[in-house]
């Protein structure tokens, strides 16, 4: 993992496990449709984010009233301003790294994984799926 980060010019900045869990669980509790949250939480608890994301348990269960798909595969200069703040990035290998949205996008693209970038737990997040696009998730205050 360090090699990926080094090649992309991203400093290794791990986040405490409790902070990572807060971001991850808040994303599931707020941005996935109600009937599927328990199942996804259980898979994440037992097998991790990778299992939930790779088995198709996350993307098809997004609440489309709160999450909007950008199929054009947004580029950093197109990211909405409210998402351009420091956050916590989670993917198959990176479990809780502090970085910018641009760095998260590069890392997700390089690895070809479903990456979660959470800015405000349960309020503001970006889900990278480089095959289909970028999901912007925002919950009202």
> Domain spans of the chain?
2-138
Q: pTM to 2 decimals?
A: 0.91
| Whole-angstrom distance, CA of residue 134 vs CA of residue 132 | 7
Query: Residue 2: is its pLDDT beyond 80?
Result: no
What is the distance between the terminal CA atoms of the chain, rounded to a whole angstrom? 36
Compute the average pLDDT of residues 109-127. 92
C-alpha distances in Å from residue 100, one per residue of 24, 63, 86, 95: 17, 24, 5, 15
Split at pLDDT 50, 70, 90, the class of 129 is confident
DSSP helix/strand/coil, 120: strand
Query: Residue 112: is its pLDDT beyond 90?
Result: no
In this structure, of 47-51, 59-63, 118-122, the range with the lowest mean pLDDT score is: 47-51
Compute the average pLDDT of residues 98-121. 91
Cα-atom radius of gyration of the chain, to the nearest Å? Answer: 14
Higher pLDDT, 98 or 5: 98
């Amino acid at each position: 993992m360090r090699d990926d980060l080094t090649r992309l010019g991203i400093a290794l900045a791990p986040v405490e496990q409790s902070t990572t869990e807060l971001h991850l669980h808040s994303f599931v509790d707020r941005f996935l449709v109600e009937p599927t949250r328990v199942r996804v939480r259980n898979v994440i608890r037992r097998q991790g984010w990778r299992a939930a994301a790779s088995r198709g348990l996350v993307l098809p269960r997004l609440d489309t009233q709160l999450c909007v798909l950008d199929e054009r595969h947004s580029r950093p200069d197109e990211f909405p301003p409210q998402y351009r703040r420091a956050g916590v990035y989670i993917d198959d290998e990176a479990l809780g790294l502090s970085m910018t949205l641009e760095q998260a996008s590069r890392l997700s693209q390089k690895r070809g994984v479903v990456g979660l970038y959470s800015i405000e737990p349960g309020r503001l997040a970006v889900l990278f799926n480089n095959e289909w696009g970028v999901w912007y998730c925002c919950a009202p205050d």
